[in-house]
Every structure is written in C-alpha cells, then in structure tokens.
Amino acid sequence: MKRFRFIIKRLLSMIVIMFLVSFLVFVVLRMSDADPLTVMIGNNQSTPELRQALTEKYHLDDPVHIQYLRWIKGVLSGDFGTDYVDGQDVKGLVMSRLPITFGLVIMSSVIGSVIAVIMGVAAALRKGKPSDAAISGLMLVLSGAPSFLVSILILFFMTKYVPGYSFIGTYTNFGEFLQRIMIPSLIMALTFVAMLGRITRSNMINQLQSPYIATAAAKGLKQSNITYKHAFHNAVIPVITVAGYMIAGSIGSTVIVEQVFSLPGIGGLLISAIEENNFPIVQILVLFMLGAYLVMSFVIDILYTVLDPRVDLK
C-alpha cells in the first residue's frame, strides 16, 4: 500500500514536470527573437501570400496557449507536426534517428557497468597495493577528462593509425550499425568506468570493513563466499542506483559522441534544430529526452526499494 502510494505520487509529479517544462519551452521559444516565418521561408522569396499561407498552415496567429494545446494534443496522439525548415514529418525524422542513440546508450551502459564493477571490486580487494593505486589513478584521470576530449583523441589515433576502419556516418545493415556504434560506445563506457568504478571500490571497502563480515569470517565461511555473497550484494545496491541515473543522463550526453563521430542520432538533430530555430524538433526532442530521463529515474527509485528493503518510502 505504501509502495502503491509512492508510485502514484511519483507518477503524478513526473507528469506535472513534463507538462510544465514542455509548456515553458513552447512558450519561451515563441517569445525569442527568432521568427518562425523567417525560418520557414529561408532563401525563398518572401511574398505576402506565402507568409499568409504559412501563418494559416501553422496557425501562427493563434494565442500561444491555444497553439500549445494543439501541439500537445498532436503529440499525445502520435502526431509530432511538421518541421519549419524542410516541412518534413517530425515523427519520421525522430524515429529514423532513434536506433543510433538507443544503441549507444544500451551498449555503453552495459559494457561500462560490467567493467566498472569488475575493476572496482578488484581494486577494493587489493586496497593499498600498487594495483589498486593504478586502477584508482586511472579512474581519477578518466573522471577528469571530459568524454568529448577522449572521443576526439581516440578518433584522431584511429584515423591516423588504423586506416580502413570506418566508423563515421550512416549504416545500411545491422553489422555496419554495430561497427558504427562500437567505438563511440566504448568511449561513453569510460565515463561509467570512472564514476561507477570509484563508487564500487569505496562501497566494497566499506562493506568489507563492517562487523558482519567479521562475523561471517568467525563462523568459518569461505573467503570467496564472504566477498561475493555477503559484501558484494550490499556494496552493489548503491552502484545500481548511480548506474541507473547515469544511463538516464547519457540519453542527453550521446550528443557529444554523435557530433564527434558524425553519427545520425537525436543529439545531432537537436543541435542542428537549435541552430536553425527549428522549433517543432526542439520541442519534441526536449520533451523526449526529459521523459526518458524521468521514466528511467522513476524505475530506479522503485527498483531501489525492491533491492534494499530498509529504504523508507516517503
């Protein structure tokens, strides 16, 4: 019952945030200096007839809140409208870009989390030894180095020393798709390794020092049993939470590797839409990224209460 109320409360606040942010973005975009008509007309000759036709087609004369209601109604029924620059269907445009972004997020988070946990546990078990110092030092450098820098450095070395390996641009089949996203996902995985690895290490050290481990050892349990069954289970719960938030956040940060490796994902679409003042695309992508993040963090919170029964629901 308590959990049910918690879920309802979180769901409601999520919906409110999404409507609020989408409304604010919608309204303020229309208050900015950019004039949708100028964007739409572009290099064509601006005639009063054309302006009139476009104004009517996009309902630009209506008050802003009416425009918003029309837009959000469309979004809820699956119609994202047409974009300002090319007059294309926004939904198709976004859908064609989704595989790359989702591929990057899923691949990088799986690879990154697995490596991070292995390295973190390994470092914790060798606490104070040179191998621990090496792993921790590597993680510190990785966490200091921004991911876009790592991406361009790797791109630089790959193009220079691994000729013939193409990982830039579009794809035609699944094999090529994997090849395109492999290197960028590995780079994004580095962020996971840096962050999660350090958390795993410190949690694992904390758990190994707690009294119940001494009890387990006193009972005569095998060391491997103590480490992997007792300490690891408790140490990994906060790691899962942070990993979840990082996965949710990486939906927005794929934009960096997408730009560097010129991959056709939604991040690149958002950047170009912002530069062109292409409002319909900006609105829907902001809503989408925010929604994905909120849903993800919602799932993590629920999962957290399931994994750790001690957590109190408010």
Partner 1 sequence: MKKKNKAGTFFTPVVAVTGIFLAVIVFVSLFASVIAPYDPLATDVNAIYAPAFSEGHIFGTDGLGRDLFSRLICSARTSILNAFLIVAIEVVIGVPLGLICGYYRGPLDSIVMRVWDVISAIPPLLLSFILIAVMGKGMMTGIIAIGISYIPLTTKTARSMIMTEKKAVYVEACKSMGFSDARIIFVHILPNIITPMISQFTLDIGTAITSMATLSFLGLGVQAPNADWGTLLRDGMGNLYNSSALLFIPAICVILVTVSINLFSDGVQNYLDPSSRKLPSFKKYEKKHGIKKLSAVKANGEA
Binding residues (CB under 8 A) for partner 1: these are 17, 20-21, 25, 28-29, 32-34, 140-141, 143-146, 148-149, 152-153, 155-156, 159-160, 202, 205-206, 248-249, 251-253, 255-256, 259-260, 270-271, 273-275, 282, 286, 289-290, 293-294, 297
Q: In this complex, which beta carbon is closest to partner 1, that of residue 53 or of residue 153?
A: 153
Between helix 232-260 and helix 90-125 the angle, nearest 10°, is 140
Q: In this complex, which beta carbon is closest to partner 1, that of residue 50 or of residue 143?
A: 143
Q: In this complex, which beta carbon is closest to partner 1, that of residue 206 or of residue 234?
A: 206
Report in angstroms how near the CB of residue 98 gets to partner 1 at its nearest. Answer: 16
Q: In this complex, which beta carbon is closest to partner 1, that of residue 181 or of residue 247?
A: 247
C-alpha 10/C-alpha 4 separation (Å) is 10
Backbone angles phi, psi at 176, to 5 degrees: -65, -35
Cβ contacts of residue 238 below 8 Å, gap of 6+?
Answer: 199, 203
Q: Are 271 and 200 in contact (CB under 8 A)?
A: no
Nearest to 104, CA basis, from 240, 265, 242, 271? 265
C-alpha 161/C-alpha 284 separation (Å) is 40
HSE (CB half, 13 Å, CA atoms) of 2? 7
Q: In this complex, which beta carbon is closest to partner 1, that of residue 27 or of residue 178?
A: 27
Q: In this complex, which beta carbon is closest to partner 1, that of residue 34 or of residue 302?
A: 34
Residue with tokens 């697995």: 114
Report in angstroms how near the CB of residue 179 gets to partner 1 at its nearest. Answer: 20
Report in angstroms how near the CB of residue 58 gets to partner 1 at its nearest. Answer: 18
C-alpha 211/C-alpha 80 separation (Å) is 57
Report in angstroms how near the CB of residue 286 gets to partner 1 at its nearest. Answer: 5
Q: In this complex, which beta carbon is closest to partner 1, that of residue 171 or of residue 261?
A: 261
Report in angstroms how near the CB of residue 49 gets to partner 1 at its nearest. Answer: 30
Q: Are 271 and 231 in contact (CB under 8 A)?
A: no
Q: What is the three-class DSSP state of 15?
A: helix
Report in angstroms how near the CB of residue 220 gets to partner 1 at its nearest. Answer: 26
Judged on CB neighbours under 10 Å (0-12, 13-18, 19+), 274 is middle
Cβ count within 10 A of residue 236: 20
Report in angstroms how near the CB of residue 236 gets to partner 1 at its nearest. Answer: 18
